[in-house]
Structure 1
Amino acid sequence: MKRAWEYDYEFFCDAIPVRDRTDLIQWDNLLEGKFLEEARQMLETGKGAWIKPLPESKAPYSKMLGAISSMRNMGYDVQEADRLIPEAFRAIDEDRLIDLQIINARVFKALAEAPKIESHPYWSYTVYNSFEQYAQSVKFQEYPEYRLPGQDALFEKVHAGWLGEIIGSALGTAVEGFKSSRIWEVFGEITEYVKPPETLNDDITFELALLEAFREKGYDITSEDIADKWVGYIPFAYTAEEIALNHLRHGIYPPESGYVANPYREMIGAAMRAAICGALAPGNPRMAAELAWRDGCVSHHNNGILAEVFNALIVSMAYVETDMQVILDKAMRMIPRDSEFYSVLAFACQACSQSRDYRQAWELCEEKYKEYNWVHAYPNLAAEVVAIRFAGNSFERAMTILMMAGQDNDCTGGPIGHAYGVMLGLDALDDKFVAPLRDQLDTYVRTMESQSITSLSKKTTEAILKYN
């Protein structure tokens, strides 16, 4: 029987990006100001749930195959869901929408009831269910002598961080969802935007919601506070965040919102929104990690949250350290060695040490994690390690490596770009990346559809100073 990950991997390997695109991102008519939530949800639960081009890069994506393969990755027997896949594709070919709706529901039922495979490697690692459990297993890096710089100097770091993140996200949205070899075939090595940059994506959305909660309560914010902002500000989401948002609207709050019936709970979604947690805790890795955990458990669990913690640690330390490889090493020491997520970081480091260049190292990682959906945290965080190891302290080189790795590379370019921006400052961001943005951030966050990057940076700086 052909398994979900095999279908998924075929789609991924066969997809070819298109050069010289000038089309705009279309979030279900959001550019016309219409929040067509009900229509979008109907599409997602119909044919589009099995295979649909992404709004940004146009790469094919299957949320159903991703759900099944992710549950298998987490050590569950998904054979019942696997058996329904051919039936689903037949229903699509024959345009049997009613039957397809039933099959989709049956797939999620099978995943919710999937038995645990006790011998699966996943269960040989510790499962981390709370921040307290995590914090007891690591020793946090401390910077007792660090003091926040003055307002102007802090603003420059914050501004460079946001610019670095928005550049990384904009670079990635044009090529996300494609295999590395396909990107090489079409573009060669990417060193600049491959299409006019856009900022209308789902990566920064959730960071803006957290920032609003933080502006009200500072470091006292809870996961429920963050969840409330999601419900109020965010009209729709995808994968783990979509399920969590639906839970929240029906009164199921964190941590249950991130865990219950959420097969996507170890995908990249939490890690993609980590930068704000590190930015709000400059030079304070423990607080950055705690903010990331409070945020992560709204939609994720265990390794999915640890991936967010890892990225938040990197951004927090970028305010103090001056070498990105040192930051990477210290961040890894704050990830529990008995977690499966740590094994991913360690494998990526080993791949780097035995490879002559980043392309060879990435090929090892890509092969190792080919059974994971390209939106999963593991291949993407492995790509981050490869990028930092081979880019050193070069923002541009790090972005190139992340773009060439493929996968969900707007979600890796964003937080890693933020960290490089903070550490290196505005002078390290080439004008070829900055100027096309025109200091503009477009989102689909309610009341924040358009703002300047400068104003966002000022708002973030003010929030940091208010509570420090």
Structure 2
Amino acid sequence: MKQAWEWDYEMFSGAVPVKDRTDLIQWDNLLEGKFLEEARQMLESGKGAWTKPLPESKAPYSKMLGAISSMANMGYDVTEADKLIPLAFDAIREDRLIDLQVLNARVFKALAEAPKIEGHPYWSYVVYESFEQYLQNAQLCDYPDYRLPGREELFDRVHAGWLGEIIGSALGTAVEGFKSSRLWEVFGEIDGYVKPPETLNDDITFELALLEAFREKGYAIDSDDIADKWVGLIPFAYTAEEVALRHMRSGIYPPQSGYLVNPYREMIGAAMRAAICGALAPGRPRLAAELAWKDGRVSHHNNGILAEVFNAVLVSMAYVETDMRTVLEKAMRAIPMDSEFYTVLEFAFEACEKSATYREAWELCEEKYKHYNWVHCYPNMASEVIAIYFAGNDYQKAMSILMMSGQDNDCTGGPIGHAYGAMLGTAALDKKFTEPLEDRLDTYVRTMETQSITSLSEKTTDAILKHWQE
């Protein structure tokens, strides 16, 4: 029987990007409510749940196949869900939408009831349930002599971090969801925007919610504070975050919101929003890790949270260290070696060590993790390791490697771009990246639909200075 990951990989491998696009998404529809309705329909169990083009890159994505394959990768027997896949595609082809609604519900029922597979490799690793448990096996750097720079320098680093992230996200949203070989066929090596950049996506959405909670309570915020901001400020979400939002609106708060019947809980969503946790704790990796854990458990679990911790620590240390390779190696030590997520970082690093080029290293990782959905954190975090290893302190090279790796590369370009920006400052960011943004950030966060990147950086800087001594 054909398994979910095989259906998924076939769709992913066959997708071809379109070159020389100049079209922009009509995001103004969002303000009129039309986009929200489209998003709602996509998230509900209709045709779009099985295959729907992404808003900007136009790559096909199946949240149903992703759900099934993710549960399988977490050591659950998803045979009953796999059996329903061809029936669902038959229903789509024959336009039997009522039958499709039932089949979709049955898939999620099968996943909720899927038994653990005894002896599956996933269960041979430690499952991390709490920050306290994590701390027992993490090796976090300490910088006791670090002091915040003056406000002007701090602002420049914060501003560069946000710019680096927003650029990385904009680069990635135009080409996300494609296999590396397809990107090479169509674009060659990407070294800039392949279409006019757009900043409205779901990547930064959740960071703005956390920042609002932090502005009010500082480092004392807990997961419930973050959850409240999600419920109040964020109208819709995708995959793990969508499940969590639905839970929280029904009164199911963290950690259950991240774990309960959430097949997407180890996907990239938590890692994509990690940069703010590191930015709010510059030079304080342990604190960055704690913020990331509080944030991650809202929608994720175990390896999904560890991925957010990894990216948060990267950003935090970028304020202190001067070499990104050093940051990478220290951030890897911040992940417990008995976690499955650590083996992903280790495999990617070893692939770099024995490869002459980043393409060779990525081919090894792409093959190793091909049975993971392209939104899963494993292949994406492997690409982050490769990008930093081969790019060194070159921001543009790091972004190029991440773009050419494919996968969910707006979710990798964002946090890694933030780390590079924080380390290098605004002077290191080429105008070909910054000028097209026109200092504007569009979001679908309520009350924050449009703001300048400068004002966001000011707000972040002020929040750090206000709460730093706590």
Task: Give the TM-score normalised by the residue count of structure 2.
Answer: 0.98
1:159 aligned residue: 159
2:33 aligned residue: 34
Query: Hey, what's the Cα distance between the residues in 1 that align with 2:264 and 2:128?
Result: 16
1:203-242 to 2 correspondence within 5 Å?
A: 203-242=203-242
Query: Hey, what's the Cα distance between the residues in 1 that align with 2:162 and 2:392?
Result: 20
Q: Secondary structure at the match of 2:137?
A: coil
Q: Secondary structure at the match of 1:419?
A: helix
Q: 1:413 to 1:324 in 2, by over 3 A?
A: same
Q: 1:227 to 1:336 in 2, by over 3 A?
A: same
1:324 aligned residue: 324
C-alpha displacement at 1:37, in angstroms? 4.4
1:415 aligned residue: 415
C-alpha displacement at 1:35, in angstroms? 6.0
Query: Hey, what's the Cα distance between the residues in 1 that align with 2:38 and 2:203?
Result: 22
The answer to which of 370-379 and 130-139 deviates more is 130-139
Query: Hey, what's the Cα distance between the residues in 1 that align with 2:139 and 2:355?
Result: 30
- Do 1:255 and 1:298's aligned partners in 2 also have CA atoms closer than 8 Å? yes
Query: Hey, what's the Cα distance between the residues in 1 that align with 2:201 and 2:20?
Result: 20
1:187-202 to 2 correspondence within 5 Å?
A: 187-202=187-202
1:38-437 to 2 correspondence within 5 Å?
A: 40-44=39-43, 45-437=45-437
Query: Hey, what's the Cα distance between the residues in 2 that align with 1:394 and 1:48?
Result: 39
2:5 aligned residue: 5
Query: Hey, what's the Cα distance between the residues in 1 that align with 2:406 and 2:193?
Result: 14
C-alpha displacement at 1:32, in angstroms? 4.5
Aligned pair count reads 467
- Do 2:362 and 2:383's aligned partners in 1 also have CA atoms closer than 8 Å? yes
C-alpha displacement at 1:427, in angstroms? 1.1
Runs of 4+ with >6 A deviation: none
2:103 partner letter: I
Kindly provide the CA deviation profile for residues 202-258 of structure 1, in whole angstroms up to 9, marking residues without a partner as x: 000000000000000000000000000000000000000000000000000000000
Query: Hey, what's the Cα distance between the residues in 2 that align with 1:344 and 1:85?
Result: 29
Q: Secondary structure at the match of 2:321?
A: coil
- Do 1:26 and 1:55's aligned partners in 2 also have CA atoms closer than 8 Å? no
1:217 partner letter: K
1:268 partner letter: I
Kindly provide the CA deviation profile for residues 73-114 of structure 1, in whole angstroms up to 9, marking residues without a partner as x: 000000000000010001101111111000000000000000
Percent of aligned pairs with the same residue?
Answer: 77
C-alpha displacement at 1:40, in angstroms? 3.5
- Do 1:25 and 1:200's aligned partners in 2 also have CA atoms closer than 8 Å? no
2:180 partner letter: S
Q: Secondary structure at the match of 1:136?
A: helix
Q: Secondary structure at the match of 2:441?
A: strand
Query: Hey, what's the Cα distance between the residues in 2 that align with 1:57 and 1:125?
Result: 36
RMSD between aligned residues: 1.0
Query: Hey, what's the Cα distance between the residues in 2 that align with 1:444 and 1:17?
Result: 26
C-alpha displacement at 1:33, in angstroms? 3.1
The answer to which of 138-147 and 341-350 deviates more is 138-147
Q: Secondary structure at the match of 2:451?
A: strand
1:372 partner letter: Y
C-alpha displacement at 1:24, in angstroms? 1.8
- Do 1:26 and 1:56's aligned partners in 2 also have CA atoms closer than 8 Å? no
Q: 1:440 to 1:36 in 2, by over 3 A?
A: closer
- Do 1:292 and 1:309's aligned partners in 2 also have CA atoms closer than 8 Å? yes
Q: 1:112 to 1:35 in 2, by over 3 A?
A: same
Uncovered stretches (5+) of structure 2, i.e. residues with no partner: none
Kindly provide the CA deviation profile for residues 415-452 of structure 1, in whole angstroms up to 9, marking residues without a partner as x: 00000000011111000000000000000000100000
Query: Hey, what's the Cα distance between the residues in 1 that align with 2:176 and 2:376?
Result: 13
2:273 partner letter: R
Kindly provide the CA deviation profile for residues 327-379 of structure 1, in whole angstroms up to 9, marking residues without a partner as x: 00100111000000000000000100111100000000000000000000000
Query: Hey, what's the Cα distance between the residues in 2 that align with 1:342 and 1:266?
Result: 14
1:74 partner letter: M
Query: Hey, what's the Cα distance between the residues in 2 that align with 1:284 and 1:40?
Result: 38
C-alpha displacement at 1:31, in angstroms? 3.8
- Do 2:30 and 2:36's aligned partners in 1 also have CA atoms closer than 8 Å? no
Query: Hey, what's the Cα distance between the residues in 1 that align with 2:32 and 2:13?
Result: 35
Uncovered stretches (5+) of structure 1, i.e. residues with no partner: none
Kindly provide the CA deviation profile for residues 241-289 of structure 1, in whole angstroms up to 9, marking residues without a partner as x: 0000000000000000000000000000000000000000000000000
Query: Hey, what's the Cα distance between the residues in 1 that align with 2:308 and 2:301?
Result: 10
Task: Give the TM-score normalised by the residue count of structure 1.
Answer: 0.99
C-alpha displacement at 1:26, in angstroms? 5.2
Query: Hey, what's the Cα distance between the residues in 2 that align with 1:157 and 1:256?
Result: 36
Q: Secondary structure at the match of 2:168?
A: helix
Query: Hey, what's the Cα distance between the residues in 2 that align with 1:436 and 1:301?
Result: 37
- Do 2:175 and 2:409's aligned partners in 1 also have CA atoms closer than 8 Å? yes
